[in-house]
Structure 1
């Protein structure tokens, strides 16, 4: 998913003030979003622009009795890795939240929304129960031994999940962050999607339900559940899903994802409970009181600092 990371960051950078009049940043933005269409898994829509791709992974999750069709393949692989995929959707959503007007001026806002929704639609399927999240489809070892188009896959499509007995805080919290950030994106632009998401409502605490504002409401509910799941049943996801260790192990642990998700939940719901969670745990969870040299699918502390700084711009007496 390293390619995802660089291209998502490009979306953020290119949507701001151009560095040079001689370079066509709008074209670069367009090609960055085309990349996501090329990485789509599942049944492709009629308006798919990358025409050399076709339907693939249509039986994903079948052996486990769950519909896991959709989502994104990882870089040049045919595996769907949940942690970097969720991180990608969080960053894409952040790009739209901060630079939506600029992306719209470049004529790419609809494509950005479609790229985000392709991911969140999959996350809804991958979260069929408040304390269950399907976090990987496919096996990296067999996949890397066989170079195939996803349309022709013959390698294992086994799916892996985290749950109460096999926790995965990093992937649960990052998926919560992705859903929270995406809920802001769709709060006014796609009300029918918000209503569709609401129809999928599962078990929600009434107090939480009443304190949420209507911002893609069902997505908020899901991310609240995911955050509660990740926070309550703590554990490294690469210890529950050992096959991911050779590809996306969690070197930083899960505390950075918990802070990251809490801040996005606060931005999405205006519920001060999540802001207080970040404030109260910021120092003890580490990474918020010194310079950080990395921001990646694994290490979120730098982004936690950035989001916290944005909160402080509105609430100058909040300290992290």
Structure 2
């Protein structure tokens, strides 16, 4: 590897509340996963999550203001306030400490948590996730009486996102709902649209679980329409199946799955001959000059990657140079892992119970 892999940092003089807050949220969530199997590691994760949150909140600033090099690639468009709310909610869930919920309630308005009516969820924009996590607390009754009014505002915004995906918001203008492709894919924007599809599937699935646990049978959409809670999970399943090949082109956008999937993924290691087949030195320049422009399929199949996916008309061009559609990103695949786990569990439970209404989703087979 001859390309520079310089490491960067954030500190008191060069803050990065968004990246520190996101890391705190991830560590807090992970601590719950390892709580039983590895208590020591779980404790370490939670301890560092709390430290990072304190640092992120005390020394506020966007990471792309401190590290100018990232602005052209991963700009923090939404700022850092959504990540601070996101971290506080995960820390509350991991610790049960009221101070974190107080933070989310106290900062709800000034940090935009109850102000932004959002139609997307991504690595940058966390508001929809914040609103759904806050709504969960309301639905489960896990709050003090003085939190209720603010949590109801969070829930209203959470259901705006859900209804936007369903296309059922009757108020708010043309931007109140998410566009759909002719084949049924949720469409937000041209570059790597699949990240919004997989994230929406995960959030919709999670919210449908929260509704079911609370015995709530309907969602209230802007404009007065109510939507059956069953429709929320149904849409999540449709999006998963679209990714896996139930789409007009019959392509699985999960590389390595199905009979037809992208063969020219925009990924350096996948597109260059493996070392075991050629011991020739391949630097950054050689990789681009000798391999990037080849029309043949990648010599290495990037199994498990989800590419950027098709455009608003379900059109897809399998070409390395078409990076907006063929680039593979971890934040595309990550939420799908959760969806696959859920659908697989549902299918297994139905087999064990001898259900007459089996899960029909393609995802149950993954």
- TM-score, normalized by length of structure 2? 0.44
- TM-score, normalized by length of structure 1? 0.50
Tell me which protein shows more helix as a share of its residues: 1
Higher relative contact order (CA 8 A, sep 6+): 1
